[in-house]
Every structure is written in C-alpha cells, then in structure tokens.
C-alpha cells in the first residue's frame, strides 16, 4: 500500500465529479488509454480501463463512491496482475482554498515483480496522477459555475493564536510558583 | 535499521489540555524539538493531514497523517510507502492527582535520525516531553493550584487575570 496527498485548488464537489467521470479518465489520468463504463448501479460502477505505463494492461475495476467524500476501487479482473485496489479520500483544505485528496493504492504485480520496485513505481504514479488531477481540475473549474461548499465545509484557515503567558503567579500547597520569561521560579 | 524509543513523564496539567496541545499539529513549530514549520492541510474529526518541515532539512516539506482519539492518543506518521518512515505516538492517561501521564513512542529508521537531526524529538523523545512541560507551564492550569495573577498576550492585546477576574490592558503612554 502506498499513500499520497495532492492539494487541488478546486472545490470538493468538482474534484469528486472528475474522479467519478470514469469515461473521461483518458483526458487526465497519466497512462490511461481507454476507460469504458460497463455498468452503473447507484453509487457503484464497473469500468474497463486500459493503462499503459511500463506495460499495457487491461483492468476491470469496481468503483464504490460515497458522494463528495470517498471513492474506493477494486480490481474485478485482470490477466496481468494479482491485485489492484485503493481509494481517493476527499477533504476540504484547511486554508479554505480547495480540496486535499488522499490517495491509496495497493498493487500486487505477482512474484516476478519485487514489492519495493512496484511500490516505487506506484508512488511515482500517484504523484503524477495528483499533479494531473490538479491541472485538469483547474480547467474544469474554469468552465463550471461556482459550486456549493462540500458537506463538511472547512473553517477558513485562520490560525487561532493561543494566549501567550508573560507573567503568572500561582499559589500552591508547596509554595508559590512564578512564571516569567519562559522560566518557572519556585518560592517557599 | 529500525529504531524504537519511548519516554514517559507526568505533565502538570489535565489530560484534556495535554491532548489539546498534542493534537494541535499546526502549533508543533512552536514547541516540538527539531520542527521548523508545521501546517495543517486538512482536518476532520479524528484525522488530519499535516505538513512538517524539520530544522535539519530546511525547505523539505514532509506530509504526515495524524490520528487522534480524544484525551487518549495522538499519532503522527509518515504516509505509507513514503520515506523516511516514522511514527510518533503519544498516549495520555490521567493520574490520581489529576495530572497527565504522557508517554511518547517513536518508531523510525536509523536514517530518520540522520535526516531529522540529532536534536529532534526522534533522537530524544524525552526532550519532546520536556518541551511539552515547558509549553504547559505557559498555561498554568495545573490541578490543585490557585492562580493569583496572570498577564497574557492575546490576539486582542494584553489581558490580565487577577483572582479569577479578567481585565483588558490598554497602553497609557
């Protein structure tokens, strides 16, 4: 399993609509040559995807979505690899400017491909997919009307500063404590 | 080579305050040894994504995932599959005297120590606890104590608290 985080300067609803528009994956997913939706039922879809990176593979994936929040995917069939699954988790950016996408991907390419090499490749793939998503989301946002905020709209990124104590005198059973200039003095 | 280190100490504050400070990831830059800057990218109820920069690696931002269970546990760890891999877990338990017993456990590769610097919390978790105690000292709400007077700098200016009553201070010269 490899995780990656991408910051996208676009509303969560737009990012979600891009991620669930499977037919348009070839437009932005690096190495995706074709993506055809086979079936859709509620928030579950099955699609056939042709990916061409180190090797050309044809995958059948099942996508399960929790609107605006999470998109999980899992391999249904593929003659070339043993397992392929993961998810996109969408969060509102704390600074109020967009969406943070946490991507997870588990790829088991079989006994011929060592895990550390596969994971390194997956990490690169996730990074390039994140960059591609950011770029594509900008073009989609430019032609879409401003969307409503997501279900768990973030508090805009104002960092509340804690009060900083300059001087304090405390009386305890063991004596008095004086805090001043970052140091604590005990007086009996 | 994987390293595991841990340290414990009683922190003179209630468990709730210790938890609040430890789960304030954006404030790590103010007290955690070795951390130069910290920023929360996104936060949900019990999960956050934060970005840390270490004094030993200026300019290199590291994304970490943070999990927190109120008043009990705070975990900050590298995203799975990313390097240098580390995990910093804080356990908080109230003591009979009403203070907080805080245990910090660090897990990481030896390379983590080199990359984060020997002065960081990864090399010496005890140092992290001492910094936490210093931070708590600036709050002065230790159980069983009687606060006589306190002057604090807040976003609204200087505030003085005397025998439980708060006063807003205004400059006169």
Sketch out chain A's domains with CATH numbers: 2-143 (3.30.530.20)
Question: Between A3, A177, A179, which is nearest B81 by CB?
Answer: A3
A158 touches chain B (CB under 8 A): no
d(CA B56, nearest CA chain A) in Å: 23
β pairing state of A175-180 and A164-172: antiparallel
**CB burial readout A131-167, b (16+ within 10 A) else e:** ebbbebbeebbeeeeeeeebeeebeeeeeeebbebbe
pLDDT in tens, B84-137: 788 999 999 999 998 999 999 999 887 777 777 777 777 889 999 999 998 887
Domain segments of chain B: what residues? 2-142, 147-173
Answer for the pair B85, B112: CB distance below 8 angstroms, yes or no.
yes
Chains A–B, number of C-beta pairs less than 8 Å apart: 103
Confidence of residue B80 (pLDDT cuts 50, 70, 90): confident
Classified as helix, coil or strand, A120 is helix
Question: Between B42, B151, B155, which is nearest A167 by CB?
Answer: B151
Fold of B2-142: Alpha-D-Glucose-1,6-Bisphosphate; Chain A, domain 4 (3.30.530)
Task: State percent of chain B over pLDDT 90.
Answer: 49
Confidence of residue A32 (pLDDT cuts 50, 70, 90): very high
Classified as helix, coil or strand, A97 is coil
Taking CA atoms, A177 is separated from A41, A169, B10, B98, B163, in Å, by: 67, 6, 18, 18, 15
Q: Is the pLDDT of residue A157 over 50?
A: no
Taking CA atoms, B53 is separated from B40, B56, B93, B130, in Å, by: 12, 9, 29, 21
What pLDDT shows up at residue A156? 43
pTM here?
Answer: 0.82
A165 touches chain B (CB under 8 A): yes
Taking CA atoms, A179 is separated from A147, A163, A164, A186, in Å, by: 50, 14, 12, 9
Token pair, residue B10, equals: 């009683």
Q: Is the pLDDT of residue A17 over 70?
A: yes
Please determine, for the modelled complex, whether the ipTM score is greater than 0.85. no
Contact A171 B146 (CB under 8 A): yes
Q: Which residues of B touch A103 (CB under 8 A)?
A: none
């Amino acid at each position: 399993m490899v995780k990656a985080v991408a910051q996208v300067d676009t509303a969560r609803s737009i990012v979600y609509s891009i991620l669930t528009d499977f037919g348009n994956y070839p437009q932005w997913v690096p190495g995706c040559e074709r993506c055809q939706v086979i079936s859709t039922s509620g928030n579950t879809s099955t699609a056939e995807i042709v990916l061409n990176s180190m090797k050309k593979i044809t995958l059948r994936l099942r996508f399960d979505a929790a609107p605006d929040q999470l998109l999980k995917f899992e391999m249904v069939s593929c003659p070339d690899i043993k397992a392929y699954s993961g998810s996109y988790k969408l969060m509102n950016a704390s600074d109020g400017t967009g969406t943070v996408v946490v991507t997870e991907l588990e790829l088991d390419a079989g006994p011929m491909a060592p895990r550390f090499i596969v994971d390194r490749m997956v990490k690169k793939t996730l990074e390039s997919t994140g960059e591609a998503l950011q770029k594509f989301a900008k073009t989609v946002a430019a032609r879409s009307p401003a969307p409503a905020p997501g279900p768990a709209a973030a508090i805009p990124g104002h960092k509340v500063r804690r009060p900083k104590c300059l001087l304090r005198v405390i009386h305890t059973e063991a004596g008095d404590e004086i805090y001043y200039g970052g140091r604590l003095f005990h007086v009996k | 080579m994987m390293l595991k280190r841990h340290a414990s100490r009683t922190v003179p504050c209630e468990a709730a305050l210790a938890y609040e400070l430890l789960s304030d990831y954006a404030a790590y830059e103010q007290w955690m040894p070795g951390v130069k800057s910290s920023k929360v990218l996104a936060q949900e109820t019990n999960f956050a994504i934060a970005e840390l920069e270490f004094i030993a690696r200026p300019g290199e931002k590291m994304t970490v995932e943070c999990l927190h269970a109120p008043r009990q546990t705070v975990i900050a760890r590298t995203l799975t599959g990313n390097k240098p891999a580390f995990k910093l877990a804080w356990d908080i338990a109230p003591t009979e005297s009403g203070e907080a017993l805080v245990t910090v456990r660090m897990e990481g590769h030896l390379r983590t120590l080199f990359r984060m610097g020997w002065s960081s919390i990864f090399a010496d978790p005890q140092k992290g606890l001492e910094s936490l105690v210093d931070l708590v000292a600036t709050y002065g709400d230790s159980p069983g104590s009687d606060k006589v007077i306190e002057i604090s700098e807040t976003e609204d200016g200087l505030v003085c608290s005397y025998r439980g009553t708060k006063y807003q201070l205004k400059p006169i010269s």
